[in-house]
Amino acid sequence: MPKWTKTPASPVRIAFLLFDQFSNLCLANCLEPLRAANTQTTLQHFEWQIFTPDGAPVLSSSGMQILPHAPLKDLGRCDYLFVTASYHHERHNTSEKRRALRRAAGLARVTVGLDAGPWLMASAGLLDRKRATVHWDLLDAFTEQFLEVEAEQARVVRDGNLMTCAGAMSALDLTLDLISDHLGIAARLAVEALFIHRDPPIGADRDRNADRDPLVSRALGLMRENLEGPLPLEVLARRLSCQPRTLDRRFRARLGAPPGTVYRHLRLASARKLLEGTPLGVAEIAVRCGYESPAALTRAIRKQFGVTPTDLRAAG
């Protein structure tokens, strides 16, 4: 059963291991959603550091230089190790780096391979007898090279404490799943609202390749289209050609919360975005987000975020 909200007992510690010629888009699609999740919850639930094999700066495939926090040998215990490699990954496939990668994986609760990262993980023996994916341009060669790995053409694959993904856009999927796992569906929806302009595959269980619930997806679309004039549950259900109790049941099963809670969350997320990113007054934002008065919006924001609209505007 998905959880609408969660609070981790301690910050989730993430280590990004970057190899020269890594994809900066892949890295950004992990870092930016994590940063946004911290911003949306006003707490540092996710902490990260960047490592390189020898502590020297590395260049992305686009020539952007990244200065790491430390060399890989200084890695301590962490929750996630993201192995990030892309172009010319074969140059990094040395015995020394394989040993270092095995040691680093032993310090992580979960090891994640991004883009060509799974190739280096497989070469180090981390994916033996495991299901995995890799950038699809490499998939055929990967399948031929690593016979002991059960390779799949999938966006994201989880197998025990190992996760692999196919590329930059898949890295965004994976990171959104991670946010759901640790903070709940509400935080994921708030982050998706910042980065995605289409109805996302909310809460998809990619281990079983579960399809998204089309009813919930259509309902979310209607909610987003009707923030200024929120639709009562009965009207929403009628537009979706279903019973209100059916819609309620599907929301609780898929998102861990009833439709009213989700709808309110979307309206308040929109209000927060407007407060932090526009000069619109609180009265105008209240109208745009379906609140009858600035005072009603202020009460709702204080209850949801623990701060006032003025505080959110100052923080933005």
Domains of the chain: 12-181 (3.40.50.880), 214-315 (1.10.10.60)
Taking only the tens place, the pLDDT of each residue in 224-241 is 999 999 999 999 999 999
212 vs 123 pLDDT, higher one: 123
**Global pTM exceeds 0.75:** yes
Mean pLDDT of the chain: 91
The closest alpha carbon to 22, from 113, 94, 156, 126, belongs to: 113
Which tens digits make up the pLDDT trace of 143-172? Answer: 999 999 999 999 999 999 999 999 899 999
pLDDT score for 211:
41
Say yes or no to pLDDT of 200 above 60: no
Q: What pLDDT is recorded for position 195?
A: 77
